[in-house]
Every structure is written in structure tokens, then in C-alpha cells.
Amino acid sequence: MSDSDRLDALESRVAFQDHTIEELNATITAQWKQIDLLTRKLSQMEEQVRSGSQIADPSTEVPPPHY
């Protein structure tokens, strides 16, 4: 294998690795955004449960259709 061939192979590897790193970075960034969103929603839901603001009055609830 000549020096030129070895250099071409190394350049090809580096280009592939750079592309893979960019894809992984984009994936991680998207996952962190999703995790952040879900964490905020979970905090809101915990607050609603603690405050009781989302709990319906059982006397006003319509019974399910199977009753």
C-alpha cells in the first residue's frame, strides 16, 4: 500500500468519523431537549396533584358506559 493510498484511507476514516460525531451530537441534543420538556411536564403534573386542582368532584362525574 503506497503512502498516497494510506493517506486516502485515513482521510476517508476521518471524514466518516466526523460525520458520525455530528449525527451523535444532533441525537444527544434532541434527546436532552425531550428530557427537559418531559421533566418540566412532570413537575407541572406533580404540582397539580399536590394542589388537587385537577381532581374532579366524584359527585359530578358521569358513570362510565359499562355501568
Predicted confidence (pLDDT) per residue in 6-22, tens digit? 999 999 999 999 999 99
Residue 48 has pLDDT above 80, yes or no: yes
More confident residue, 28 or 60: 28
Distance CA 26, CA 49 (A): 35
Distance CA 42, CA 29 (A): 20
Handedness of CA 19, 22, 27, 28 (dihedral sign): positive
Please give the grid coordinates belonging to residue 43.
Answer: 413537575
Residue 54 has pLDDT above 90, yes or no: no
Q: What is the pTM of this model?
A: 0.62
Residue 56: its pLDDT value, please? Answer: 66
The average confidence (pLDDT) of the chain is 90
